[in-house]
Chain A
């Protein structure tokens, strides 16, 4: 059985930052493996360790810079990687465009199970996995926080709101979007990092995938910091001063009174 994991590289923003046009100024961005995808990679690697999967392949839509992130997924146990990039990509790639790219990759790889994070930490769209499933006509489940797989049926828990989980059986091949907390993602070992250096990252362009060009119907036209609506009383001074002031307020509210 082959597992395909969608792995995104995401930008994370420092506390203080500037906006340049409709984007975060590059100087304030760091790039990292998307938190949700980290759990998806771990879930796939565990399936391989349990003998249920023979191969774990990652796919990333990203520029050359993202290879550092891809190596991280390889160091954690993925066997090989595909990176799709094209000089024609600019601005926002919307859900439909990402779906088209991944559909072409799936046609080539024919995976039995596709795992991806519920969402990315930067754009927070949360839609690509289910959109892909509909496009390739695979069964699916979104927001999965528990997975048991017997080789044919995936028995999953879907994490609903308010501390309720839905128990669902999904036929495979299937697409599952993975929620944080489903497992404990491992740190890459030194040995894993060394091995990752010799694992394959196949770079593909749109033409390689047999795609012409991709139009995105969505345009990101503005980015701004939300107006702060805080009317909080902020205590000033060093930690001792602020602690005294806060303690005063808390005692007024009856906190700590025996």
Chain B
């Protein structure tokens, strides 16, 4: 029996890390159910992908060669057909930008309850998930009253599968209804180029929502100058166009690994942390002692940035 059907993710010829995390999570759930873990990889170089996905704990990899790149209409149709054939207890998908573009449609088409952005899960008497709410301020337990569920997992929460396994590879012949493919991907665009590459900086002074007003950015620029550091920011600052896109650290911006990362007025939402947790030393300045940024900080100051930053500038310029 197929306990779990996990759908791998790739982009522009490469499997994304979450594919291996889906195997990790999928194996745990399949063990809870005492059933098999199947992985499907759709579009692109599927044979090559299948070799990489043949990890310990994966019983079968299904290859579906239709299409070159991700197209949600193709992914939705194929996943629906695979689920109809395999009847897994769990259809497991990534809570990525592309996952959000087909996972909810799969759940709707299959009539399965959907749990998204899952950070922990088990399937014993029933499916139970852990999710965050209110910008990661709280965690919640969600129980599902159904034997068949659709689940989307957050990246970075499960260890990625490593050991190679003795996995069977099967080609799945999907029946694609071309008239139901109503979106066309016409290309990709790299954004955030320009005058500076924050991923090269050794010291980053990073500013977040706590700065309040555009004119206050100047204060942080002054600090960056005093520390001979590069200025970066979290998403809201770029959304407000207070700094250009090439300064954005996080999931949709740049991933940075400087020697020192100073987060000022940044709460530390998971999307931001994903882009800077590899920094050597992390310093956080924030008024909220419970802000998640302190979970990953090495040094912290719980105080008003408008008091601390001027004092810090004095220290280096005085």
B-chain residues with CB within 8 Å of residue A228 when the two chains form the complex: 290, 294-295
Binds A, one of B22-30, B38-46, B303-311: B303-311
Is A124 among interface residues, defined by CB-CB distance under 8 A?
yes
Once the chains are docked, how many angstroms separate the CA of A250 from the CA of B241? Answer: 30
Per-residue 0/1 for B2-40: is the Cβ within 8 Å of any A Cβ (1 yes, 0 no)? 000000000100000000000000000000000000000
Once the chains are docked, how many angstroms separate the CA of A125 from the CA of B303? Answer: 32
A-chain residues with CB within 8 Å of residue B138 when the two chains form the complex: 13, 19, 24, 223-226
Chain A, range 180-226, C-beta contacts under 8 Å to B? 180-181, 184, 217-226
A-chain residues with CB within 8 Å of residue B144 when the two chains form the complex: 217-219
State whether A234 touches B301 (Cβ < 8 A): yes
Once the chains are docked, how many angstroms separate the CA of A253 from the CA of B152? Answer: 41
Chain B residue at minimal CB-CB distance from A240:
B311
Known A-B contacts A139-B183, A226-B139; A127 and B254 likewise in contact (beta carbons under 8 Å) = no
Known A-B contacts A131-B107, A166-B185; A180 and B239 likewise in contact (beta carbons under 8 Å) = yes
State whether A234 touches B312 (Cβ < 8 A): no
A-chain residues with CB within 8 Å of residue B308 when the two chains form the complex: 239, 242-243, 246
Tell me how far the C-beta of A179 lies from the nearest C-beta in chain B, rounded to whole angstroms.
8
State whether A171 touches B183 (Cβ < 8 A): yes
A-chain residues with CB within 8 Å of residue B63 when the two chains form the complex: none
Contact with A239, one of B97, B229, B238, B304 (Cβ below 8 angstroms): B304
Tell me how far the C-beta of B207 lies from the nearest C-beta in chain A, rounded to whole angstroms.
16
Once the chains are docked, how many angstroms separate the CA of A238 from the CA of B292? Answer: 22
State whether B299 touches A233 (Cβ < 8 A): yes
Contact with B191, one of A15, A134, A165, A222 (Cβ below 8 angstroms): A165
Tell me how far the C-beta of A68 lies from the nearest C-beta in chain B, rounded to whole angstroms.
20
State whether B252 touches A162 (Cβ < 8 A): yes
Is A143 among interface residues, defined by CB-CB distance under 8 A?
yes
Contact with A230, one of B106, B133, B137, B294 (Cβ below 8 angstroms): B294
Q: Can you list 26 A-B contacts with CB-CB less than 8 angstroms, sorted by A residue number?
A: A118-B100, A127-B107, A131-B107, A134-B106, A140-B105, A158-B101, A159-B252, A163-B245, A163-B252, A164-B11, A166-B185, A167-B189, A168-B186, A180-B239, A181-B235, A181-B238, A217-B113, A220-B141, A221-B143, A224-B139, A232-B298, A234-B299, A239-B307, A249-B299, A255-B227, A256-B316
Known contacts A142-B97, A226-B138; 5 further A-B pairs (Cβ under 8 A) = A95-B116, A124-B116, A164-B190, A181-B239, A246-B301
